[in-house]
Amino acid sequence: MDYRAQVTNSIMNALNDELSSAVIYEKLERPKDLSMGDLAFPTFVLAKSMHMAPNKIAEDLVNKIDATNYEKVEVKGAYINFFLNKPNFGRDVLTTIIAEGAAYGQNDNGKGGNVPIDMSSPNIAKPMSMGHLRSTVIGNSIAKILTKNGYNPIKDNHLGDWGTQFGKLIVGYKKWGSEEEVRENPIDNLVKYYVRFHKEDQENPELDDEARDWFRKLEDGDEEATYLWKWFREESLKEFNSVYKKLGVGFDTYNGEAFYNDKMDKGINILKEKDLLHESQGASVVDLEKYGLNPALILKSDGATLYITRDIATALYRDKTYNPALNLYVVGSEQTYYFEQLKAVLKEMGVKSAENLHHIPFGLITVNGKKLSTRSGRIILLDEVLDAAIELAGKQINEKNPDLANKDEIARQVGVGAIIFGDLKNERTNNIDFVLEDQLRFEGETGPYVQYSHARAESILRKANNTNYNNSDMLINDANAWETLRILHDFPKVIQSACKDFEPSEIAKYSIRLAKAFNKYYAHSKILVEDQELPARLALVKSVSIVLKEALSLLGVEAPDEM
């Protein structure tokens, strides 16, 4: 039921066509305070045309409004405040949620359209750091939100498994490495070679030439180079997958950069056919002046490809394979300019999905204000952070709920939940200066707080003798429950908005609002009391449980029934 439309109608009927219903609908606002009602109409807009003071307009108008469907309609200053009929509203909301269950809030706006999501994308032979967490977790959540909105997301782990760094890696491995070392501890040792390479090439710049040679060999299909590349890739993936498992994230495809290695000619040919490629200082560029952008470098002066060459191939492939409704790239905000260039180049090429290409940027993670970088050794290992969180969650369980069954698994859900939720709670684009203690908080507005609220709801349902709320009249006469009911009603709207903005934080904030309202209700009203309203109250608790669990699920966070 659209209560905003109902209020709009009430106002329309009291007016003489001074405003269109669309304007009224849009002008209606939600008062901050419950004491000011549920929806409010500010009369300022009418002041000019009616030549009256807003306060006077409000007083006149309220007398013409038919208030029978409301608890009451009141004037306060220039505002007309509508108080909805709480029992009816509550019954509507609860009936809907109980009937729809986890599907509550689902819509079909996406009409099944394919949405490839470029996400996670760790680099082979480098450890996954907190930066990759962001792309992984944001992409994963957006995929779930898209599904809830009727799209068909395709999570693509666009592995960084190609590029000049492999030349460097091979040089490093051959000079200072050994097979045993890599077998024993792949990523640690590969990183060691890589870091050493960067240290030594400052003294011996000819190392860079060697690295370039090796990368050329790799591109040309040289046997040794290819063998090493494959091996490094395989070992790295093993480690990545254990982290993904811990996080509970999966992918539909792992089409890394190498996958597109033999698919780049097509893009280059289109560029040539359309005469978009120009030579500049020995390299090939596309001029983007009409977009207000610098030229995009497509081929290096030695003819080697670049990131963008592969991204063009990727776009062509996705265009052909998926005919995407949306084309998403969850990549750090430092690449915003690059994606503007990519989009412009694709537009010039006439690639269809360029129009629907969205870079979904997220803020940088720093330590003491400094950027992370593998080669300098300034890095936060994702796996270590997750383990620290899981360990702490385990400790908390031993203190608070020592008899809990399945402790390890729940510690994982809570610890990982804290990290994921912490990442998704705030606007994507905020930068984060990493402090471990900040990540390991389980109180206040955190993932565990929301999980705990859900577990409390489930606990009540377990203790209830019968949960036969299906036959309930769903009528609750309790002011303490009102805020919770209102928030439950908002869920479908929040799902749409989060999808439109590609913003998981909207879901996270919503889940906190709901958890907070429910905890308040829980603290002020006794639920398990044998009276007439018990079934309705249980329906409310069940609804809270359903929606909290679903909200967390949209974030990629699990909701244990006990913790």
Partner RNA sequence: GUUACAGUAGCUCAGCUGGAUAGAGCAACGGUCUUCUAAACCGUAGGUCGAGAGUUCGAAUCUCUCCUGUAACACCA
> Which DSSP state fits 72?
E
Nearest approach, Cβ of residue 453 and RNA (Å): 7
In angstroms, the CA 429 to CA 364 distance is: 8
| Residue span binding RNA (CB under 7 A) among the ranges 71-79, 89-97, 169-177, 313-321 | 71-79
Q: Binder to RNA among 21, 77, 355, 436 (CB under 7 A)?
A: 77
Going residue by residue from 400 to 439, which x/- string records binding to RNA, judged by CB under 7 A?
A: xx------------x----------xxx-xxxxx----x-
Q: Could you tell me which residues come within 8 angstroms of residue 503 by beta carbon, excluding any fewer than 6 positions away?
A: 427, 428, 497
**Which of the residues 34 through 63 are near RNA (CB under 7 A)?**
36-37, 40, 42, 44-45, 47, 54
Burial 162-195 (b: 16+ CB within 10 A, else e): bbbbbbbbbbbbeeebeeebbeeebbebbbbbbb
Cβ closest to RNA, residue 111 vs residue 337 = 337
Q: Quick one: 114 or 495, whose CB is closer to RNA?
A: 495
Whether 65 contacts 7, CB under 8 Å: no
Residue among 241 and 301 whose Cβ is closer to RNA: 301
- In contact, 58 and 77? CB cutoff 8 Å: yes
Q: For residues 433-472, which are near RNA according to CB under 7 A?
A: 433, 438, 441-446, 448-449, 452, 455-456, 458-460, 463
For the CB of residue 243, give the shortest distance to RNA in the complex, in Å.
18
Size of interface with RNA, in residues (CB under 7 A)? 94
Helix axes 164-176, 223-247, angle to 10 degrees: 100
> How many other CB atoms are found less than 10 A from the CB of residue 499?
24
Contact call for residue 520 and RNA (CB under 7 A):
yes
User: Which token pair is 452?
Assistant: 């705990």
Stretch that binds RNA, among 10-18, 260-268, 313-321, 526-534 (CB under 7 A): 526-534
The neighbouring-strand residues paired with 41 are 80
SS (H, E, C) 114-158: EEEEEECCCECCCCCEHHHHHHHHHHHHHHHHHHHCCCEEEEEEC
**Strand bridging mode 152-157 / 114-119:** parallel
Which of 127, 131, 163, 535 binds RNA (CB under 7 A)? It is 163
Nearer to RNA, 45 or 325 (CB): 45
Figure out which of the listed residues 14, 52, 364, 475 binds RNA, where binding follows CB under 7 A.
Answer: 364
Site for RNA in 314-333 (CB under 7 A): 333
**Minimum distance of RNA from residue 365's CB (angstroms):** 10
> Among 226, 241, 253, 301, which residue interacts with RNA (rule: CB under 7 A)?
301
Sole residue written with tokens 């006794």: 526
Residue number, 263 or 352, with CB nearest to RNA: 263
The DSSP code sequence of 514-545 is HHHHHHHHHHHS-----STTHHHHHHHHHHHH
Minimum distance between the CB of residue 168 and RNA, rounded to whole angstroms? 9
Q: Contacts with RNA in 170-229 (CB under 7 A)?
A: none
In the chain, the amino acid numbered 136 is: T
Whichever of 115 and 393 has its CB closer to RNA, that residue is 393
φ and ψ at 356, to 5 degrees? -95, 10
CB within 8 A of 31, min separation 6: which ones?
37, 38, 39, 40, 79, 81
Residues 98-127 that bind RNA (CB under 7 A): 123
What residues numbered 242-271 form the site for RNA, per CB under 7 A? 257
Query: What residues between 15 and 34 interact with RNA by CB under 7 A?
Result: 26-27, 29-33
Q: Single out the segment in contact with RNA by CB under 7 A; choices: 99-107, 234-242, 274-282, 322-330.
A: 274-282
* Choice between 113 and 363, CB closer to RNA: 363
Q: Pick from 107, 204, 269, 336: which binds RNA (CB under 7 A)?
A: 336
